[in-house]
Structure 1
Amino acid sequence: MRPRAFDLIAFDWDGTLFDSTAIIVRCIQRAVVDVGGAMPTDQAAAYVIGMSLAEALAHAAPDVDPALYPRLGARYRHHYAAHQNDLSLFAGVLPLLHELRARHHWLAVATGKSRRGLDEALHTAELHGVFDGSRTADETAGKPHPRMLLELMEEFGVAPERTLMIGDTTHDLQMARNAGCASVGVGWGAHEIDEFHALGAVQVVHSVRELHDWLLANA
């Protein structure tokens, strides 16, 4: 059997594994309007996906008084909670994760979500025991700071050259680059793929099937 190229594979969550981009955009837009700000464009709202919530909302609502940020965050969580049961993994993701586990890769999540938000998303029977570790933006530094990946690499004793980050935003790929890790960009999430290769992505894929085939051949 061909030896593994990567011992640790870290995934972004929203827009990479979880089909949530469109709903997050709408929730950001509604939250900003709720506190009196100008509604961000779809592009502006999608750009901040992957950042920590506080940073994302501040970036998406530059005309909102910082004193209103706590209420802005609360309104976002209100809108998101109303739709979180509408969300699901992208088709093909779960079989892919199981195949990677069968090959004895460590699997992790590195996300801009809060710990509470990620735990709620992972609290399903189908995802029980799938991931070996995770980091969220509220318990470490947000993307593109490399701390999430550095902590995961330390936890599993894996070197940067044996770690792969997979994500749908430039924040994900810049984080990987900052941590000295390889990255794969996925083209079905929040950001356009034009900048992915410039940020060091070793591959850009356009479907879960393509990601599956690439990982099984190269990871």
Structure 2
Amino acid sequence: MSGPYRAVLFDVDGTLVDTPGGMTKVLDAVVRETGREVDRERLRATVGRPLAASFATLLGLPEEHAEVAHAVERARRLFTETVIPAAADLVFPEVPPMLAELRERGLPLAVVTSKIRRSAVELLEAAGLLDSFDTLSCHGMAPRGKPAPDLALLACGELGVAAGHCLVVGDAVDDMRMARGAGMAALGVGFGVATPRELLDAGALSVSGSVGELRAALSAATAPAPLPLGSDQG
């Protein structure tokens, strides 16, 4: 692993907060309201993508279709009603101290998510994580969403750190592809929606099986390089 990296860009769902299960239930409820049924694995596979793209896939309709737009708004309401109240309990253990440690070391932190800004703020605030981040890059704030590099590049621009010095952390293949397209390195987490093999194949430097493992990987990737032997240490 090269480095040290000077800023960290985090995905949210499945990376910091264990929302994929709740989101899968929301997607299932909305799809059933349309008179359709989709198996759970197919539903879960769309978690983390923009809602319009998810429902276009699940309903077999174009993203601009009125039924897709209705499903998106319905899903956002259900998410607010059923998942947001439990958000604080859905934060993965060790995430708050991990973020606090990175901030104490002076590392700029960003969120890069397929949620629209209003939904991202709502979730992060309810989870008690909003103040941990210097900037949020959300769906609709750049010309293209994940897996295009636009949102990651927006975040590093806001942080004032060159893309090559930024590290992306995510649980989905699209996170890894976004990082690669932006010229950034990426760490995968294996407790979200994608398998470790899928993440590695998509370009992850490594995949952590727990937040504790991720914390160690981040510490190693962002640690200052040791001074050469014999150098003047003051």
Q: Same fold (TM over 0.5)?
A: yes
1:178-197 aligned at under 5 Å gives the runs 178-197=181-200
Q: Report the Cα offset of residue 72 of structure 1.
A: 1.0
Deviations 1:158-188 (A, max 9, x none): 2222010000010111111111110011000
Aligned to 2:53: 55
Q: Report the Cα offset of residue 64 of structure 1.
A: 8.6
Aligned to 1:171: 174
Aligned partner (choices 43, 46, 50) of residue 44 of structure 2: 46
Which is worse superposed, 151-160 or 92-101? 151-160
Please identify the structure whose Cα radius of gyration is greater: 2
2:134–2:159: 8 Å Cα contact kept in structure 1?
Answer: no
Aligned to 1:25: 24
Q: Report the Cα offset of residue 123 of structure 1.
A: 2.4
Which residue identity lines up with residue 111 of structure 1 in the other structure? T
2:5–2:167: 8 Å Cα contact kept in structure 1?
Answer: yes
Q: Report the Cα offset of residue 156 of structure 1.
A: 2.2
Q: Distance in 1 between matches of 2:53 and 2:62?
A: 13
Q: Distance in 1 between matches of 2:189 and 2:200?
A: 11
Which residue identity lines up with residue 23 of structure 2 in the other structure? I
Matched residue SS, 1:129: helix
2:13–2:20: 8 Å Cα contact kept in structure 1?
Answer: yes
Unaligned residue ranges in structure 1 (runs of 5+): none
2:117–2:136: 8 Å Cα contact kept in structure 1?
Answer: no
Q: Report the Cα offset of residue 124 of structure 1.
A: 5.0
Deviations 1:35-83 (A, max 9, x none): 222x222221122222211112212221699331122112212321221
Aligned partner (choices 89, 92, 96) of residue 91 of structure 2: 89
Aligned partner (choices 131, 136, 143) of residue 134 of structure 1: 136
- Report the number of matched residues: 215
Q: Distance in 2 between matches of 1:102 and 1:17?
A: 18
How big is the alpha-carbon RMSD for the aligned residues of Structure 1 and Structure 2? Answer: 1.8
Runs of 4+ in structure 1 off by over 6 angstroms are none
Q: 1:99 to 1:207 in 2, by over 3 A?
A: same
Q: Does residue 1:70 correspond to 2:82, yes or no?
A: no
Which residue identity lines up with residue 85 of structure 2 in the other structure? N
1:12–1:110: 8 Å Cα contact kept in structure 2?
Answer: yes
| TM-score w.r.t. length of structure 1 | 0.91
2:141–2:151: 8 Å Cα contact kept in structure 1?
Answer: no
Percent of paired sites with the same residue: 33
2:179–2:185: 8 Å Cα contact kept in structure 1?
Answer: yes
Aligned partner (choices 104, 118, 121) of residue 106 of structure 2: 104
Matched residue SS, 2:60: coil
2:12–2:112: 8 Å Cα contact kept in structure 1?
Answer: yes
Q: 1:178 to 1:208 in 2, by over 3 A?
A: same
Q: Distance in 1 between matches of 2:121 and 2:198?
A: 31
Unaligned residue ranges in structure 2 (runs of 5+): 223-234
Which residue identity lines up with residue 212 of structure 2 in the other structure? R
Which residue identity lines up with residue 67 of structure 1 in the other structure? A
Q: Distance in 2 between matches of 1:64 and 1:167?
A: 27
Q: Distance in 2 between matches of 1:63 and 1:123?
A: 33
1:35–1:71: 8 Å Cα contact kept in structure 2?
Answer: no
Aligned to 1:198: 201
Aligned to 1:147: 150
